[in-house]
Amino acid sequence: MEVVEVLHMNGGIGETSYANNSLVQLKVISMTKPITEQAIADLYRSTLPRSLCIADLGCSSGPNTLLVVSELIKAVERIRKKLGHQSLEFHVCLNDLPGNDFNTIFKSLSSFQEKMKKQLGSSFGPCFVTGVPGSFYGRLFPTNSLHFIHSSYSLQWLSKVPEGVENNKGNIYMASTSPPSVLKAYYEQFQRDFSVFLKCRSEELVGIIEEEKMDSFNIPQYTPSPMEVKSEVQNEGSFAIDRLEATEVNWNAYDNEFCPSEAFKDGGYNVAKCMRAVAEPLLVSHFGEIIIDEVFSRYREIVANRMSKEKTQFINVVVSLTKNG
């Protein structure tokens, strides 16, 4: 029996359909809602993506499918509005085995979009929804393409019936009368399947910067205080200090100055451009070019948020020296 070919929930909206008989699954989704919402909210805060790709693995069909998606999107939108960030695009990937009733899902997308716009307002979206048929015990998505993966009441299904269970007489599953070899076969199949699942998802999830690369990178810069400068000049002995001053410069180079360009009104934009002009070659040499646009896009958001809450300044040390003797 090929599980991929035969396993799917009852389609349609009839009396015996999964759509009308999935209250237990709905209860579990409701119970785990605080966890999933916290997880995606934390993801958004830490990454500040301009577009967010969510995958629901084992989505089936019916009201539960788009309920999960809508709650995840609402959680992100609440945080986004609270932080005052720009709207973002959503890409939703709904995955299940090929026999799943994707047609019923697709027919409901129009009403789903309208409902979301009504609930979240005109700033919501756009939201793109894609059906992805296939087993999640294998690769489903391009490398580094997903931000968030959700799966509920799906991973208990194995990729196949374990081998070596022919002696499980009188049973169709693990039972108290099953031989130990049968229990072992089921457990080992789970181990293989779940390991493959995790490996595939790790390749598909976005990893902006690998942890090892991050840990091995340090900026070769030190900003000394006036006293530290004075101390080193005196200790070295070749020069006498004529003047030693500390000055303050606003992070926004165009602060309090007239400039007709709208771009200069965005202090975060100005600082991000300034820092990119200085730091990009150093970052590219270590991390590569592919991350640079995203890094400085996020940096701009962080800086803009900081500048909106406090006075932000660079401290500059100016020293004038005269050679001794």
pLDDT the model gives residue 26: 57
3-state secondary structure the chain: CCHHHHCCCCCCCCCCCCCCCCHHHHHHHHHHHHHHHHHHHHHHHHHCCCEEEEEEECCCCCHHHHHHHHHHHHHHHHHHHHHCCCCCEEEEEEEECCCCCHHHHHHCHHHHHHHHHHHHCCCCCCEEEEEEECCCCCCCCCCCCECEEEECCCCCCCCCCCCCCCCCCCCCCCCCCCCHHHHHHHHHHHHHHHHHHHHHHHHHECCCCCHHHHHCCCCCCCCCCHHHHHHHHHHHCCEEEEEEEEEEEECCCCCCCCCCCHHHHCHHHHHHHHHHHHHHHHHHHHHCCCCHHHHHHHHHHHHHHHHCCCCCEEEEEEEEEEECC
User: How far is residue 284 CA from its own chain's centroid?
Assistant: 22
Contact by Cβ (8 Å): 91, 55:
no
The pTM of this model reads: 0.61
Contacts of 29 by beta carbon, 8 Å cutoff, 6+ apart? 64, 67, 68, 152
10-residue mean pLDDT profile of the chain (325 residues): values are: 51 50 56 79 79 86 78 87 83 87 84 85 82 88 87 76 76 74 80 84 78 75 80 84 79 52 55 76 75 77 76 76 77
pLDDT the model gives residue 1: 52
Query: Per residue in 18-34, pLDDT tens?
Result: 444 444 555 666 677 77
Compute the distance between CA of residue 189 and CA of residue 183 in angstroms, rounded to an integer.
10
User: How far is residue 254 CA from its own chain's centroid?
Assistant: 34
Domains (ranges, CATH) in the chain? Answer: 3-207 (3.40.50.150), 226-323 (no CATH)
Determine whether 259 is exposed, middle or buried from the number of CB atoms within 10 Å of its CB (0-12, 13-18, 19+). exposed
Compute the distance between CA of residue 237 and CA of residue 235 in angstroms, rounded to an integer.
5
Best CA proximity match to 219, nearest among 292, 272, 287, 283: 283
Q: What angle do CA 177, 179, 180 make, to 5 degrees?
A: 120
Compute the distance between CA of residue 120 and CA of residue 73 in angstroms, rounded to an integer.
10
